Amino acid sequence: MRHNKRKHKLGVSGPHRSAMMGNLATALITHGRIETTLSKARALRPFIEKIITLAKKAEKANDAARKLHYRRLAISRVRDKKAVAKLFDELVTEFTERNGGYTRIYKLGQRIGDAAEMALIEFVDGNDEGYNPKPKKKAAKKATKKAAKKAAKKATKKVAEEAPAEEAPAEEAPATEEAPAEEKKDA
């Protein structure tokens, strides 16, 4: 039984898994969002959040030795100095007000070749509205057709209801409207 064993193993050995997580974290830090399998995205989420927490601790630290210590801890996990520098210098300011939940995962469906569940993992910004996929064309067309039909029915009902009521005053209205128009021309 796997009681109290929460690590995502991903079917690989320990060193392979740590290298894979480091590479995925590097790609996520560099690009802001990556597309990967759902299981790898779920394994990457706690990994990258711990590294972001290290960056936040380094930002709050007063002495240079403590900042360097947190940076080295992050480098030991990510193994890319440029990505860690970008995280510690640029990206950490986006997460200072946020207590966890730095990433978001979207399911994208199955991959064509092997039917693996794909996902998009990205950083969450303070002003971020999220990933807005393009609406499916069929659903959008159906919605617009239904809305057009409803509008047409309402318009025909209104015209049918208003037409008999307007016919009688319509004959009187042109005579009264023509008189003021003639007065304006004379003036």
Q: Of 114, 133, 152, which residue sits at a domain end?
A: 133
Say what the pTM is. Answer: 0.67
72 shares its domain with 125: yes
User: Domain total for the chain?
Assistant: 2
144 shares its domain with 122: no
Q: Which domain holds residue 167?
A: 134-187
Q: What are phi and psi of 123, to 5 degrees?
A: -75, 150
pLDDT for 150 equals 76
- The per-residue pLDDT string of the chain (187 residues; one tens digit each, 9 = 90 and over) reads 889 888 889 999 999 999 999 999 999 999 999 999 999 999 999 999 999 999 999 999 999 999 999 999 999 999 999 999 999 999 999 998 889 999 999 999 999 999 999 999 999 985 666 556 666 666 666 777 777 777 777 777 766 666 655 555 555 555 555 555 555 555 5
Residue 8 inside a domain? The answer is no
Q: Kindly give the residue spans of alpha helices, DSSP state H, lying in 61-124.
A: 64-78, 81-89
Residue 75 inside a domain? The answer is yes
177 shares its domain with 125: no
86 shares its domain with 117: yes
39 shares its domain with 67: yes
Q: What are phi and psi of 64, to 5 degrees?
A: -65, -30
Do 94 and 123 meet the contact criterion of CB atoms below 8 Å apart? yes
Residue 7 inside a domain? The answer is no
122 shares its domain with 145: no
pLDDT for 131 equals 59
37 shares its domain with 105: yes
Give the DSSP letter of residue 32: S
Instruction: Name the E strands within the chain.
Output: 33-37, 103-110, 117-123
30 shares its domain with 51: yes
104 shares its domain with 141: no
Residue 138 inside a domain? The answer is yes
